[in-house]
Structure 1
Amino acid sequence: MPLVITALGILLLLFLIMKCRLHTVISLAVVSFLVAIALGVQLTDVVDSVEAGFGDTLGSTGLIFGFGAILGKLIADAGGAQRIAITLIDKFGEKSIQWAVVTTAFILGIALFFEVGLVLLIPIVYQMAKQAKISFLYLGLPMVTALSVTHAFLPPHPGPTVISEQFGANIGMVLLYGFIIAIPTVIIAGPIFTVFAAKFVPSAFRGENKGIITNLSDTEQKKLEDTPGFGISAFTALFPVILMSLSTIISLLQESFNIPANVFFDFVTMIGSPTTVMLLSVLLAIYTMGIARNIPMRQLMNSAETSVKAIGMLLLILGVSGSLKEVLIEGGVGDYVAAIFEGSAISPLLLAWLIAAVIRLAQGSATVSALTTAGLVLPLMEGTDVNLALMVLATGAGSIIASHVNDTGFWIVKESFGLSIKETFCTWTVLETIISISGLLFVLLLSVFV
């Protein structure tokens, strides 16, 4: 019944949004309440679950998106994004622009959380598409592919790092095998899939519908000599990457040399958190893109206020999508799926992927599906010689399959690119499924040799 209730809830949500034209926020809230009641959540706890999901989601993403929108707006208004876009196009050429975006997103994605990478890169990639006179989604899909793959397979991202600890896998081997799997997966799900997606969903590639973040990036074109230099523009845009990378390196060195925690490492941890990183980056941008160019503070703050107002509805959508995810978790959907696979005799690698995939489909959270899977398959691994690093990667691959309406990432992509529900399913959901299946196939292929 939990799976049937979940399926009916998803169908109701699609009906309310697509047929009744009810706003996404209201539809998500209605379905969250109904699904919670149907799953047997105590009536006195329903509101708490909805509010907890809303608060947890905005607590982890709200400030990141808020500061990210301000950062992107400041860089765009100053002409920094335009300067970066023109320079990259001149450097790589228009024919290779898609590969330039994929490579950049992959490198940055190693250090950045998915949400941070998205709000950081969208203004720049949008300007690149505008300068090259091509569809924004033609560059946008490969960009989100690279960010998603690094998020799923490569430490120090939370998923693969935590699962590695659960399985007792060597984090260095996870990183090595992760790179081997990630590179061909990005190529398949990114540039190659984009060609097919453009044929099957042409409406998504016409560039008529712009998302919230792209609207912030669509500023008046300046003369190149009136824009900031490429060096300072790139440094401002990449400052979050620099801070996060330094924090990660210092933390890894601390773990490698077993250095006890102290005030310095606590400070590094605080500075390296996404929220702190984005706040410091905004402060830097206020100076480099504003004060240093003699732009009045009032004008800078007007840009900041405009950007935050523009993403207000996006934040509400993200928060309420977190409510739906929370009631599915509270309703025991993940536990029910886990019970189905208890005592299974399938290969540990395939089983880890399958359990993670089904839990992901049922309740939406990649992190929850990965951690639940780790707890389930640990006993099944005893007495086998399965490669622990590959188990981590198989679990990570399963945990990101078929992102849909119960996943916050689905709504982030939909609103960021200005897509309809159908277009998001045909692009983002399919893309995530390709990443998941490709990841599994490469894991199984690699298991023959290691």
Structure 2
Amino acid sequence: MEAIEPVYGTATLLLIAAGAVALLLFLIMKVKLHAFVSLVGVSVVTALVVGFPLADVPDVLMFGFADTIGSVALLVAFGVMLGRLLELTGGAQVLADTLISRFGERRAPLALGVAALCFGFPIFFDAGLVVFLPIILTVARRFGGSLLFYALPAAGAFAAMHAIVPPHPGPVAATEQLGGDIGVTLLMGLPIAVAAWYVGVYLVSRFLGARVDVPVANVVFGEARDAHGRTGAEQQEQGGQDGKPQLGQAPPAFGTVLSLLLIPLVLISFSTVLDTLDAAGVLDAGSGLPAFLGLLGSTTVALLITVVVAVLVLGRPRTSMERVRRIVDEALGPICSIILITAAGGMFGGVLELSGIGDALSSSLSDLGFSLILQAFIISTLLRVAQGSATVALTTSAGLLAGAVGQADLGSAQIALLVVAIAAGATVLSHVNDSGFWLVSRFFGMDEKTTLKTWTVMETTLGLSAFLIALGLWAVV
């Protein structure tokens, strides 16, 4: 769908958006109304207040909901199937033990973050988070303390790579719109992303973890577990009638588990690299072998292949296919709420996007009188806060600045810094109109207030760190 012609001015639209967010927080945090019901209800009210024709309101609601659930449902479903198999067969514990033996207990959060930075180079934020979730929870269960010590470094690493570094679609699209060089954006964006992650995520996670106690969530994997991650029923089952474990008696080797996790990494790399080469005009990714590799590298297909391999390599050698079927089936139950709430968050963001608030802000902010890099950050930040989608904020901001960048005759390095500044603005202040906010909230078992105090703060420090580094380099490039 296309955005409607705004009925109100920019100031009124901003007030409507602010009022909608305030109403949503009131319903969830004060009235204690379920988040899914609150999000859908506020989305309907917002669509009516903004001025959508009554006949169009259902389609407006489905715009953001269908787009979000279409990507999240399959991703989360395959991810928790893989996570459940890794957990019950001991694969996640093997990974955690190896990680700790290499880096030591005190550096476990750093190790998780560095691993996520590496995996996050070709993998989207949500896909990486789903794959890493069982490892994060296993390490956190082993050492105790707030989950934030372990979850934020990994989640923040995926967020930093996804927002700033090609071949992720946001920075690639912004680079193309501004007439820059994708290779230069990669070479400059990568070290900036790593430095911003260390300052704005890793150090901040230590501060937040020491002050906010978030217990290890079992929202994905179900009921409470013992020190080995087993439920009471699993302890009895794994003991068996003859005293021998039926599942997980021989944990998989570290190489096996690592190879399994590398499958989606390699397959998704096919798609991202091919898309980048296609955008650069090097090859046609729409036919022949490139198209087939692109299909294998689509997130859904890559995770499907990984789950099938996990069933054959982890599950089937240790138990019957009937038991494997029950394991993956039971893994799906707890995630229904996660999928629906995340999709409803996409609905709310979609209503704000189609309301025309982005276009209204764009026209109002196109000539701020600031330097280009400051304009890039401010415009992107305001668009991000107003309508929630980081991708929309990033691509819209780049389109707004394209004319001015062309007139300024900037070099590739300066354009790369502008892309980082736009990505930084599109990262800060993740809140209730961002579907990613709800994904993180539900995966880590945090309520909305705690998520605002932790995830929103961390996303903001990450974005500010990236912008300040880019601003410093802008002065010397």
TM-score, normalised by the number of residues in structure 1: 0.94
8 A contact 1:251–1:265 mirrored in 2: no
Q: Which residue among 429, 434, 439 is the counterpart of 1:412?
A: 439
Change in CA separation of 1:211 and 1:163 when aligned onto 2, cut-off 3 Å: farther
Match of 1:213 in 2: 220
Q: Which residue among 27, 41, 58 is the counterpart of 1:30?
A: 41
> 2:158 aligned with 1:147, yes or no?
yes
8 A contact 2:84–2:328 mirrored in 1: yes
> 2:357 aligned with 1:333, yes or no?
yes
Q: Which residue among 437, 442, 445 is the counterpart of 2:472?
A: 445
> 2:31 aligned with 1:20, yes or no?
yes
Q: Deviations over 1:98-130 (max 9, x none)?
A: 111111010001111101111111101211122
8 A contact 1:169–1:392 mirrored in 2: no
Deviation at 1:254, TM superposition (A): 6.2
Deviation at 1:163, TM superposition (A): 0.9
Counterpart amino acid of residue 112 in structure 1: I
What is the CA–CA distance in structure 2 between the aligned matches of 1:320 and 1:255, rounded to whole Å? 32
Counterpart amino acid of residue 10 in structure 1: V
Change in CA separation of 1:106 and 1:336 when aligned onto 2, cut-off 3 Å: same
Match of 2:296 in 1: 271
Counterpart amino acid of residue 417 in structure 2: L
Q: Deviations over 1:393-424 (max 9, x none)?
A: 11111111100000001101110111111110
Change in CA separation of 1:54 and 1:81 when aligned onto 2, cut-off 3 Å: same
> 2:400 aligned with 1:376, yes or no?
yes
Deviation at 1:259, TM superposition (A): 3.2
Match of 2:6 in 1: none
What is the CA–CA distance in structure 1 between the aligned matches of 2:373 and 2:187, rounded to whole Å? 18
TM-score, normalised by the number of residues in structure 2: 0.89
What is the CA–CA distance in structure 2 between the aligned matches of 1:100 and 1:329, rounded to whole Å? 38
Match of 2:7 in 1: none
What is the CA–CA distance in structure 2 between the aligned matches of 1:156 and 1:258, rounded to whole Å? 15
8 A contact 1:122–1:213 mirrored in 2: no
Deviation at 1:237, TM superposition (A): 2.4
Give the aligned CA root-mean-square deviation in angstroms. Answer: 1.9
8 A contact 2:270–2:294 mirrored in 1: no
8 A contact 2:166–2:172 mirrored in 1: yes
What is the CA–CA distance in structure 2 between the aligned matches of 1:143 and 1:251, rounded to whole Å? 26
> 2:86 aligned with 1:103, yes or no?
no
Match of 1:44 in 2: 55
What is the CA–CA distance in structure 2 between the aligned matches of 1:366 and 1:435, rounded to whole Å? 14
Q: Deviations over 1:333-381 (max 9, x none)?
A: 1112112213222111110111010010000001111111112111222
What is the CA–CA distance in structure 2 between the aligned matches of 1:256 and 1:13, rounded to whole Å? 43
What is the CA–CA distance in structure 2 between the aligned matches of 1:93 and 1:439, rounded to whole Å? 29
8 A contact 2:342–2:438 mirrored in 1: yes
What is the CA–CA distance in structure 1 between the aligned matches of 2:180 and 2:223, rounded to whole Å? 43
> 2:129 aligned with 1:118, yes or no?
yes
The alignment covers a number of residue pairs equal to: 445
Q: Deviations over 1:153-178 (max 9, x none)?
A: 10111111111111121111101111
Change in CA separation of 1:271 and 1:217 when aligned onto 2, cut-off 3 Å: farther
Q: Which residue among 432, 438, 441 is the counterpart of 2:459?
A: 432
**Structure 2: unaligned runs, 5 residues or longer:** 1-11, 239-244
What is the CA–CA distance in structure 2 between the aligned matches of 1:45 and 1:370, rounded to whole Å? 27
Match of 2:5 in 1: none
Match of 1:203 in 2: 213
Match of 1:307 in 2: 331
Q: Which residue among 428, 449, 452 is the counterpart of 1:422?
A: 449
Match of 1:281 in 2: 306
Counterpart amino acid of residue 106 in structure 1: L
**Structure 1: unaligned runs, 5 residues or longer:** none
8 A contact 2:381–2:425 mirrored in 1: yes
Counterpart amino acid of residue 394 in structure 2: A
Q: Which residue among 364, 378, 384 is the counterpart of 1:360?
A: 384
Q: Which residue among 19, 30, 33 is the counterpart of 1:8?
A: 19
Deviation at 1:97, TM superposition (A): 1.1
What is the CA–CA distance in structure 1 between the aligned matches of 2:279 and 2:57, rounded to whole Å? 41
Counterpart amino acid of residue 402 in structure 2: L
What is the CA–CA distance in structure 1 between the aligned matches of 2:187 and 2:166, rounded to whole Å? 10
What is the CA–CA distance in structure 1 between the aligned matches of 2:166 and 2:28, rounded to whole Å? 37
Q: Deviations over 1:6-30 (max 9, x none)?
A: 1111111111111111100000011
Match of 1:322 in 2: 346
Match of 1:157 in 2: 168
What is the CA–CA distance in structure 1 between the aligned matches of 2:326 and 2:277, rounded to whole Å? 42
Deviation at 1:385, TM superposition (A): 4.1
Change in CA separation of 1:247 and 1:6 when aligned onto 2, cut-off 3 Å: closer
